[in-house]
Structure 1
Amino acid sequence: IDRGLRFLAACYDEKGKSILFSGQKILRKRRKYKKLRAELQAKGTKSAKRRLKKIGQRENRWMSDVNHRLTKTLIDHYGSNTIYALEDLTDVRFATEKSPKDQSYEIVSWAFYQFEQFLTYKANLNSSAVVKVPAKYTSQRCPKCGRIHKDNRDHELHLYTCDKCGYKSNDDRLAAMNIQFLGTLYRSGKEAPQFNKQASVE
């Protein structure tokens, strides 16, 4: 499962099937919250500050509900005895410098860790498990030939085109394919599988 904002979750399984959960409605709503907060902060009155606090609490409850419903959908869809592979986002910062300024807040503040917590808890109740794999190169590697080249990814078109074998895919789906591959290696007993530029997998 690749987590993001354009798609809250891009999933790819061992049968080669993909599921993408759009995040566009979520992004629009967060921008409304952001605009409202800016207007209240500009007022600076006591009543405005009280409203700011309530809005923050409301937004947090809403984000929790989104993550709850999404993780429940994933658990229900894939069933029991499933291994969910996620990127380990510890100490990973999203490349906000490459994103429009009006999106930087949304990128760094979405509750990705909460999604992981909810999925882990529900997976454990369903005889399933969540494993974390290194995030490095998952969006830069061709899943067909193993070529790693960051310029193969077009951020504006959200398209990955391999300059070696010609393989093309949506970049979110491609990341999910690579994460799934690492998860499969982990399940097979390979200790700490990861991608590097010298070889397809170390």
Structure 2
Amino acid sequence: MTSDDAVRVVLVDDQELVRSGLRRILRRRDGFAIVAECADGEELPAALAEHDADVVVMDLRMKSVDGIEATRRLRAANDAPPVLVLTTFDDDELLSGALRAGAAGFLLKDSGAEDLIRAVRKVASGESWLDPAVTARVLATYRSAATAPRAAAAIGALTARERDVLGAIGRGLSNPEIAEALFISELTVKSHIGRIFAKLGLRDRAAAIVYAFDHGLVTPSA
């Protein structure tokens, strides 16, 4: 975070009008600092080399390097900030592709300002955000198109408490919310999450959400 604890944001969108709208929502007085803007995914590496960022808000459809490829390249780097995908397209394949590329979440551009603010804050803090309007369909597409093998470990490798934590992650709860719901400390939540990821071979919170849905710990609405 910056010295004043503002969430440092890089905007990547080929439309100036969209970036202008995002700037009006993600204001410094509300705890955000737009540290860089890019009109295409190919500009992102240079922007991140020049500016420290807590989160990248990424459009999907851009002319040269699109959001999926830009996310894939970014996530291959060490210490890269997490990516929140933002798109006007209710396209399950595009959004599932963004998850496979390593995005921490996605949000449709017709969502409200409060949802955008919450999503950016959650992703910047290491959480995930999957737009509930399309989550069920996107996860179905993600599973059917996944190229990586399923985690070898079965859900039975988890303790009862670890299954509770994984289910809470699948419902989109943050670490403090999980701690409150399960009457445990945030440190204990973090310890459980570390063991869950290790046992199931999960790389991040988005993958944990998919796993939770796949194994019936969370049932999405259609």
Alignment TM-score, normalising by the size of structure 1 = 0.31
Q: For the pair shown, which has the larger CA radius of gyration, 1 or 2?
A: 1
Alignment TM-score, normalising by the size of structure 2 = 0.29
